Amino acid sequence: MNNHESALFKDKQIGFLIYLGVEAIMFSVLFATYLIFTPARQGPHPSEVFEAMSVILSSFFLLSSSGTLLAAEKGLKKNNKFKFLVWFGITLLFAFIFLGLEIREFHTFVSEGYDISVNVFMSSFYVLVGLHAAHVAFGIGWMIVLLIQYRRKIPASLFSEKHTIFSYYWHFVDVIWVFIIILVYLPYLV
């Protein structure tokens, strides 16, 4: 990356970090909503809805996908194509598995009768965790686009810029998930 590119990259970095600040505010309002309304006075209680296994499994895949993304980044820095593609592919796979587990979890809830309009607890759960899942889905699309960009052989410095910005996004989505574990699930699972 030359001076010219690194100046433009720095702009983008700061801009994207501010954008993640926007996202952080969005999620914190939703967390506040959840904390205000949970547990609800009537309808299902969180402890009868949540299942620990589903949370542990999905957490395992999403949280380790941050690690695999770091490994992919190392591969990219060392110009090791194989290493990059393998680790990046694993990240993508883990993201898919996480999203699948989320969909399965939501599906189970709904089929047990715990849908979005049952009570305010379920409502605030779905708008929060659902928005997070939407972020993961968006991240999956982003990763696929990045893979195509890699094949298109755009300038290496531009690709590494795009990759770095994505990694900020992905780690951010992970951090939000950690907060979801701590604030949404954990109080009612232990």
Binding site for another protein (CB under 8 A): 2-5, 7-8, 10-12, 14-15, 18-19, 21-22, 25-26, 29-30, 33, 36-37, 40-42, 116-117, 119-120, 123-124, 126-127, 141, 145, 148-149, 152, 154-158, 161-162
Query: Shortest CA distance to 44 belongs to which of 128, 102, 133, 109?
Result: 109
Nearer to another protein, 41 or 53 (CB): 41
Smallest distance from another protein to CB 6, Å: 10
Task: Please tell me the distance from the alpha carbon of residue 109 to that of residue 187, in angstroms, as a whole number.
Answer: 18
CB atoms closer than 10 angstroms to residue 31: 18
Residue owning tokens 């699948």: 100
Q: In the complex, what is the shortest distance from the CB of residue 180 to another protein, in angstroms, rounded to a whole number?
A: 16
The residue (of 54 and 149) whose beta carbon lies closer to another protein is 149
- The letter for the amino acid at 86 is V
Buried b (16+ CB within 10 A) or exposed e, 143-161: beebeeebeeeeeeeebbb
Nearest distance from C-beta of residue 94 to another protein, angstroms: 22
Q: Which is nearer to another protein, 52 or 155 (CB)?
A: 155
Handedness of CA 55, 60, 61, 63 (dihedral sign): positive
- What is the closest distance, in whole angstroms, from the C-beta atom of residue 58 to another protein in the complex? 23
Please give the DSSP secondary-structure letter assigned to residue 182.
Answer: I
Residue nearer to another protein on the CB measure, 56 or 154: 154
Q: Are 174 and 20 in contact (CB under 8 A)?
A: no
Does residue 39 have a cis bond before it (omega within 30 degrees)? yes
Q: Tell the smallest beta-carbon distance from residue 190 to another protein (Å).
A: 25
Q: Between residues 61 and 109, which has the closer beta carbon with respect to another protein?
A: 109
